[in-house]
Structure formats: structure tokens, C-alpha cells
Amino acid sequence: MAGGVPIQPKDSRGYFMLPQAPEDAGYYVYGNVKGVPGTGALAQYAHPNMLSVIFWVEREWQSIDDRKFGIGNISVANGLKYDHASHMKGVEMDIRPVRKDHMVGQAARCSRFDEKVYDREATIRLLCLFLRHPLVTKMYFNDDKVQQACGPGRVKSWPDHNDHIHIEVSERL
């Protein structure tokens, strides 16, 4: 497995780390904790509702697109505070906009301003999938064309959300 994680780590809340993007997954993982390279997995402990949403979306996504989408920070083990004001409960996650190419991994960053690589139409399709899931409550991304395409009030602006989309799910089990 990528990152050499031998078993699925679980924290004191009983939350599992997101499987580190097995070969046949519809997503790949990126990110780090406090800027330290290779530590992205440490910030991918997810509430069960978040895992449900991710696994449902990745299957739907794989039936319409052969690119993997990038998943970054969720929460660190035991819900401690780290680089974000939020991202402590395992119900918040950052993903990357879809690229026009098939690049994956840490270097596959993509901003909405990067016309050469940013695939707006595919990003809209991906975000619409997330929004179809009843557990998804909030989404932040600053592309106003995406906001319009996803329906009134579903995707909102938030400072710095140009190269990632912030997604929140309900905590209620």
C-alpha cells in the first residue's frame, strides 16, 4: 500500500484512517500535517459518515470517469487541532478540483485559475455527486460557475478555496 500502512489504523474515537488509495480506488490521497512531506495519511481519520460518502461517491465516479480525485486533510487522530480552525471532527474533508490529465499524487495540485489543467465540467460532475448524497451538508469552493451549476446555495465561497473544495457531512449517525 502507498505509504506503507500495514493495517487500517484506528484512533481513540474509533475512527478509521481512510484506506490509503488502493490501486482500484476512485480517489488518491495527498496532503500533509504541518508541512511535513509524506504525512498526509495522519490527517485522514474520518467519521463513519464521511467514509460512507467517500465510498459511495468513488463508485459512482468510477462509472462515469477514469480519473482519480484527490483527497487531502480530514482530521488527525483523536480529533486534535492542527493546521485548520476546523477539521477536528472527521466530518470535514478537502478534495482537489479535477484535472484535465490523469496526474495523481502530491504534485497534482490544481487551482481554478490554472486553465491548462483545471477541468471545470468534470469538477462540476464530481461535486454534484457529492451533493446528491443526503449526508453532505456544506461545500466551499470559489468558482462561481461551479456554484451556479450546482444549484442555489449549495456551494459557497470561502477565503483561499481556489485549489481545493471543502466538504462537510452530518455528524448524525
| Residues in 52-71 at the binding interface with Zn ion, rule: CB under 5 A | none
Given 68, 96, 112, 166, the residue binding Zn ion (CB under 5 A): 166
SS3 state at 4:
helix
Tell me the number of residues near Zn ion by CB under 5 A: 2
Given 94, 143, 163, 168, the residue binding Zn ion (CB under 5 A): 94
What is the secondary structure of 54-121 as a DSSP string? HHHHHHHHHHH-SSPEEE-----GGG---SSSS--SS-EEEEPPPBSS---STT----TT-TTTB-HH
- Which range of residues in 1-9, 40-48, 64-72, 90-98 is near Zn ion by CB under 5 A? 90-98
Residue 96 makes contact with Zn ion by CB under 5 A: no
Q: Which residue is nearest to Zn ion (CB)?
A: 166
d(CA 7, CA 85): 29
Residue ranges that bind Zn ion, judged by CB under 5 A: 94, 166
